[in-house]
Structure formats: C-alpha cells, structure tokens
Structure 1
Amino acid sequence: METIKNAANYVSETVQGSGATASKEANKNVAKDSNADISTRFQAAGDAISDKADEQQHNRKADVHNQAAKH
C-alpha cells in the first residue's frame, strides 16, 4: 500500500513540477519582452525566480517518492 501511495505522490509532484516549469518559462518570456512595462517585466522576473524554486522543490520530492516506491 505504501508503494502505491509513493507512486501517486511521485506523479503528483511531477505534474506540479511541470506546471512550475511552464509558469517559469512564461514569466521569462514576459521579462524579456521589450514591449512590456518595466514594472511588468520586473514582476515577471521575480515570479520566474520563484517558479524555478518551486520547480526544483517538486522535482526533489518526486525523486524521493520515486525512490521510495522502488523499495
């Protein structure tokens, strides 16, 4: 039963990590957009940094759950 729980958590963290990756990339594009206001670009850059941290956190958790599901 614990293996199933770890597998489900792995999938959940992987999906959340993918969402953070997509958000990060979108924010990076806004930050690079020379047609956007500077405040918008600055906010998007900060959000991209936050998304990167979320992405890494979810990927680490996914790895832990994946390893636990294997044992």
Structure 2
Amino acid sequence: MQTVKDTVNSVTESVQQATSGASKEANKNVAKDSDASLSTRATAAKDAVGDKADESKHDAKSEAYSQKAQS
C-alpha cells in the first residue's frame, strides 16, 4: 500500500515540476520582452527564479518518492 502512495506522490511531484518549469519559461519570456514595462519585466524575472526553485524542489521530491517506491 505504501508503494502505491509513493508512486502516486512521485507522479504528482513530476506534474508539479513540469508546471513550475512551464511557468519559469513563460516568466523568462516576459522578462526578455522589450515591449513590457520595467516593473513587469522585473517581476517576471523574480517569479522565474522562484519557479526554478520550485521546479528543483519538486524534482528532488519526485526522485525521493520514486526511490522509496522501488525499495
């Protein structure tokens, strides 16, 4: 039963990782957009950094759950 939970948690974390990655890329594009205001670009850059941290966190959690499920 725990293996099933760990597998589900691993998949959930992988989905959240992908979502954070997509958000990071979108924010990077806004930060590079010369038509956007400076404050919009700065906020997008800050958000991209936060998304990268979230992406890394979800990747680590997914890997940990995956390893635990295989044990």
TMscore range, shorter length: over 0.9
Instruction: Give aligned pairs, total.
Output: 71
Render the CA deviation track for 1:10-36: whole Å, top value 9, x for unaligned: 000000000000000000000000010
Structure 1 segments of 4+ aligned residues over 3 angstroms from their partners: none
Q: Percent identity?
A: 54
Match of 2:5 in 1: 5
Structure 1: any 5+ residue segments left out of the alignment? Answer: none
1:50 aligns with 2:50: yes
Structure 2: any 5+ residue segments left out of the alignment? Answer: none
Provide the TM-score with structure 2 as the length reference: 0.99
Report the Cα distance in structure 2 between the residues aligned to 1:32 and 1:45, rounded to whole angstroms. 9
Provide the TM-score with structure 1 as the length reference: 0.99
